[in-house]
Chains A and B, each alone.
Chain A
Amino acid sequence: MDLDDELRRLFSDDRLDVHSTPDATEAVVRGAERRRRRRSATTTAFALVVLVGAGAALTQLPRSDDTAGDLLPTSTSSASATTTTTAVSTFTSTAIVTVDPPPNSNSSSSVKTETGQPTNKTTIPAIPAPPQPQAQPGQFGSLKLGMSEADALATGSLIEPSSAADPENRCKAYATKSVPDANAVIISPVRGIVRITVPGYAKTPKGITVGSTVDQVKAAYPNATQSGSTLFAKMAATPAWSYVFETDGSSVTAVLMRLDANDCSAV
């Protein structure tokens, strides 16, 4: 028996059809409208949270202004803060977000408090772990490139159990609280975390995120190299790492941070 043919036969079987009720379309359209309205109803709150969330996401990405001029945000972006706490959640009733102060006011933080909606099922980008006080190279939230598996697990950002990340079953893959994909974080037994997938809502300090165009990536990272549809932007940091921008040829589909000295195959 040829399994390939069997599978194709099964998947073309009429019995796979699911009969939808006549009002299915109507139900979907109404549901979509409800979701959209819920968003509009909380526009102010939502916009603020998203805005602040984006700011917070920015703070979580490494801002190696101490190590790499390449990574420096524009003058309007915030500088490294002394203290930063972030807690945005769909399920708590209050989200308190602290945004990094602008460069000229290093001593104060602007705090914005917004009352969330416990019943609101609309997905608000959940900002996972609070960023560390100092921005460090190769770090997203509490996860750092090079961090050992035990330390990574201790952050509480990983979702167990792990799965095999390579055919040899040497490296491990974890989903994270912010990225449900099973390969969100890849950990080598020797080098620690070798790759972190950044959530779709996060932006690099240069403003690149999922959906940015290839041209925007090249403009933001003029030293980026391209291999196939993937772009690599090396960061000056220790240990050396690169942003990996996976694209579909025209726009970014995933942003990853990857240790240059990475010893997991197929990563």
Chain B
Amino acid sequence: MAVTAVLRLELTADSGGGRAETVGDFAEFVRMSMPGLLRYGHALTGNPHDAADLVQSVLEKVGSRWVSVQRKGDDPLAYVRRAMANTHISIWRRRRRENLVADLPDSGVVAPELSRLENEPLWQALRSLPPRQRAVIVLRYYENLSEAEIANALGISCGTVKSQSSKAMASLRTRLGKD
């Protein structure tokens, strides 16, 4: 609350009344949606650090354009989720040459119980998927979206969703069978 107050002060000086309301509204949105988004980010990225970074950077971008995001009339939460999936895919594409091996989260910042997921064969298998295939799986089984909704969210065709999904399921099966 103290923070909001400070921001309000800065903002009135900055550009007047409506702005403070917008910031308060956005802060409320962040507070409410943060836990769910972090979970979703964790499923998407496969590690809690990347999840936190992803949520932070996408929310900052969305927040800096909060008025226009709201004006669009979409559900802002759905909008943020779509942005996270797409941002994650494109970040990975930029980074993959450097980081072929997934970083294991170093302990300390991460709560100890998280590391237990690392022992799940399915979790490990998921981590080995390319991000777009993984995003398709997360949107389908975590978000329970239909193929058409996934296609729309990721900006790809339904055919691509189908092929990515079947590729992903096949390699998950192979991996789990082998292990």
Q: Mark B132-170, 1 if CB is under 8 A from A, else 0.
A: 100001100110000000001011111110110010010
> Is B38 a contact of A15 with CB atoms below 8 Å?
no
A31 at the interface (CB under 8 A from B): yes
A18 with B39, Cβ < 8 A, contacts A164-B163, A182-B89 known? yes
Q: Mark A190-218, 1 if CB is under 8 A from B, else 0.
A: 00000001000000000000010000000
Chain A residues with a Cβ closer than 8 Å to the other chain, count: 55
> Is B38 a contact of A36 with CB atoms below 8 Å?
no
> Is A15 a contact of B113 with CB atoms below 8 Å?
yes
In the complex the two chains form, what is the Cα distance from A52 to B3 in whole Å?
38
| Residue from B60, B66, B114, B117 within 8 A of A31 (CB atoms) | B60
8 Å CB contacts to B: which residues of A1-58? 1, 3-4, 6-8, 10-11, 13, 15-20, 24-37, 39-40
Chain A residues whose C-beta falls within 8 Å of the C-beta of B178 in the assembled complex:
none
B111 at the interface (CB under 8 A from A): yes
> Is B60 a contact of A17 with CB atoms below 8 Å?
no
**Of A65-73, A146-154, A246-254, which binds chain B?**
A246-254
Interface residues on chain B, size class: 35 or more
A11 with B142, Cβ < 8 A, contacts A32-B63, A183-B157, A253-B155 known? yes
| Residue from B34, B89, B123, B159 within 8 A of A25 (CB atoms) | B34
Instruction: Give B176 Cβ to nearest chain A Cβ, in Å.
Output: 8
> Is B63 a contact of A25 with CB atoms below 8 Å?
no
In the complex the two chains form, what is the Cα distance from A183 to B62 in whole Å?
24
In the complex the two chains form, what is the Cα distance from A107 to B125 in whole Å?
62
Chain A residues whose C-beta falls within 8 Å of the C-beta of B126 in the assembled complex:
10
B12 at the interface (CB under 8 A from A): no
Binding site for A on B (CB under 8 A): 3, 7, 10, 14-15, 23, 26-27, 30-31, 34-35, 38-39, 41-43, 48, 51-52, 55-56, 59-66, 72-74, 86, 89-90, 93, 111, 113-114, 116-117, 120, 122-123, 126, 132, 137-138, 141-142, 152, 154-160, 162-163, 166, 169, 172-173, 176
Binding site for B on A (CB under 8 A): 1, 3-4, 6-8, 10-11, 13, 15-20, 24-37, 39-40, 122-123, 159, 164-167, 173, 175, 180-183, 197, 211, 246, 248, 250-251, 253-254, 265-267
